[in-house]
A and B are shown apart, each in its own frame.
Chain A
Amino acid sequence: MSYAVEQNEKFAAYANPERLVSTQWLASTLEAGALADGKLVVVESDEDVLLYETGHIPGSVKIDWHTDLNDEVTRDYVNGEAFGALAAAKGISRDTTVVIYGDKSNWWAAYALWVFTLFGHEDVRLLDGGRDKWIAEGRDLTTERTAPVPGDYPVVERNDAPIRAFKDDVLAHFGKPLIDVRSPEEYTGQRTHMPAYPEEGALRGGHIPTAASIPWARAAAPDGSYRSREELEALYLGEAGLTAGDDVVAYCRIGERSSHTWFALKYLLGFDTVRNYDGSWTEWGNAVRVPIAKGTERGTVPA
């Protein structure tokens, strides 16, 4: 059985409070010996591949977005076999409650959570505020290596369709809302990549026509936790113009920052159909003959 859902006022306002835990909840749950029976596994997922090694939450395991979750050859995620093997090696079984946290307001943790969701892992939660909030509160860190007791994880086929959009899905999506979570400079097309850094850029700058610009970090408070429901509604229902029941696609440059926004829309505001377009600008900005809008205007639905 999975762990009881944390009850607090902030989370209660969200559509799916069971997707978040607070640092206080995690600290007391760990203190009560939660890691001993394999029912709870804490996963750290960071942008920096060495950050976990400098100190992590005691008993947590590391999953690296790039080396563990991305297929090494094809631009895709790992398959069911590789995911099952990874999860089992980290001590995760199919019914384990997984709590994921990471650096930079949980940017990469949300991405890992999204990949767990592609495999239909039922009980996967984010630590609200992530690594920075945990550290800011002076909570325990260790460099002790965690040696998990292997879990038992079945081979589950990934189910992409409900939460992942491909380029053709986006082309068929025109007329319905899109959220671009990149920086304003990337949105307008002023910049496709960092100066003197051509390799991972795109041949064209701009955004997918009609996409609203809501940089991902605006959903995060200064302490790295998600903003309140009211604040998120002002951002996405107010500024971006979404309405309840909308079918939404979010994208960024490679799909990581938009996972953070996907989580907010899906679990905090309760939109049923939210997909992350992980091909994002590195695909769209290089694809032949796809429509692009430049400048600060959203642009119109292509004819």
Chain B
Amino acid sequence: MPSGFPLPRARNAARSRRKLEQMTTHDLPAALAEIVDDFQALTEADRLQLLLEFSRELPELPDRLKDHPELLEQVVECQSPLFLTIETEQNDAVRLYFKAPPEAPTTRGFAGVLHEGLDGLSAAEILAVPDDMPELLGLTRAITPLRMRGMTAMLGRIKRKVAATSRPAS
């Protein structure tokens, strides 16, 4: 076993393994499908490592949101405090912002996956993501179903917020 955790180890392993195998296709936006394929190419232990890498790569909040915590809402279904908000740009791209403490790496990892997979997509693309997408990561056994629900709740919250902003109540 190598000591320490070189940052992109799991991601690199997934990429090199996937070159050898046929790509799986998913009814998912391209970036998210890529992430799902990465997770699925790995062993369970390496999937956890990859989730840890995502937790480290979750972008910091921009200063204008850092100073205004009231603009974010908490996803109470997560084990640990997670706050998120969305913004829609003029070209209809939806931007996602997350805040989760460093002592909640699993929650940060889930947020990191959703950020990399969904940030910048259109409302319609985000709303088309299946609610059970987190199941595709193959983490349920390693992380337990209880913990996976936090991610499902996070995706649900994003979709509800996107739906609320893109389709004004009639």
- A196-B142 contact given A50-B48, A50-B55, A54-B105, CB 8 Å threshold: no
- A50-B1 contact given A66-B146, A197-B153, CB 8 Å threshold: no
**Contact string against A for B residues 50-87, beta-carbon threshold 8 Å, 1 for contact and 0 otherwise:** 01100100000000000000000000110110000000
Residues B149 and A48 in contact, CB atoms below 8 Å apart = no
A145 touches B (CB below 8 Å): yes
Considering the chains assembled together, what is the distance between the CA atoms of A143 and B4 in angstroms?
Answer: 6
In the complex, chain B residues whose CB is within 8 Å of the CB of A145: 1-4
In the complex, chain A residues whose CB is within 8 Å of the CB of B105: 48, 50-51, 53-54
| Chain A, interface residues (CB within 8 Å), range | 20 to 34
Tell me the nearest residue of chain A to B44, going by C-beta.
A67
Q: For the complex, would chain A's binding face be called helix, strand, loop or mixed by DSSP majority?
A: loop
In the complex, chain A residues whose CB is within 8 Å of the CB of B107: 48
**Within the complex, what minimum Cβ distance (angstroms) separates B125 from chain A?**
23
Tell me the nearest residue of chain B to A72, going by C-beta.
B141
A144 touches B (CB below 8 Å): yes
Considering the chains assembled together, what is the distance between the CA atoms of A83 and B103 in angstroms?
Answer: 28
Residues A196 and B156 in contact, CB atoms below 8 Å apart = yes
**Within the complex, what minimum Cβ distance (angstroms) separates A150 from chain B?**
14
| Chain B, interface residues (CB within 8 Å), range | 20 to 34
B144 touches A (CB below 8 Å): yes
- A195-B1 contact given A48-B103, A67-B144, CB 8 Å threshold: no
Considering the chains assembled together, what is the distance between the CA atoms of A5 and B34 in angstroms?
Answer: 54
In the complex, chain A residues whose CB is within 8 Å of the CB of B149: 197, 199-200
**Within the complex, what minimum Cβ distance (angstroms) separates A284 from chain B?**
18
**Contact string against B for A residues 108-148, beta-carbon threshold 8 Å, 1 for contact and 0 otherwise:** 00000000000000000000000000000000000111010
B102 touches A (CB below 8 Å): yes
Residues A49 and B153 in contact, CB atoms below 8 Å apart = no
B104 touches A (CB below 8 Å): yes
A223 touches B (CB below 8 Å): no
A194 touches B (CB below 8 Å): yes
Q: For the complex, would chain B's binding face be called helix, strand, loop or mixed by DSSP majority?
A: helix
**Within the complex, what minimum Cβ distance (angstroms) separates A169 from chain B?**
25
Considering the chains assembled together, what is the distance between the CA atoms of A51 and B108 in angstroms?
Answer: 11
**Within the complex, what minimum Cβ distance (angstroms) separates B62 from chain A?**
24
Residues B143 and A49 in contact, CB atoms below 8 Å apart = yes
Residues A48 and B104 in contact, CB atoms below 8 Å apart = yes
Residues A67 and B4 in contact, CB atoms below 8 Å apart = no
- A195-B76 contact given A50-B51, A67-B142, A145-B1, CB 8 Å threshold: yes
Residues B106 and A48 in contact, CB atoms below 8 Å apart = yes
Considering the chains assembled together, what is the distance between the CA atoms of A50 and B146 in angstroms?
Answer: 15
In the complex, chain B residues whose CB is within 8 Å of the CB of A195: 76-77
| 22 A-B pairs whose Cβ atoms sit less than 8 Å apart in the complex | A47-B79, A48-B79, A48-B80, A48-B105, A48-B106, A48-B107, A49-B48, A50-B48, A50-B51, A50-B55, A50-B106, A51-B103, A51-B106, A54-B55, A66-B146, A67-B143, A145-B3, A194-B77, A195-B76, A195-B77, A196-B153, A200-B149
With A49-B143, A53-B48 given, name 20 new contacts (CB 8 A).
A47-B79, A47-B80, A48-B105, A48-B107, A49-B106, A49-B147, A50-B55, A51-B103, A53-B105, A54-B55, A54-B105, A67-B143, A67-B144, A103-B103, A145-B3, A194-B76, A195-B77, A197-B76, A197-B149, A200-B146
Return the 7 tightest CB-CB contacts between A and B, nearest first: A50-B105, A197-B77, A66-B144, A50-B106, A48-B106, A194-B77, A144-B3
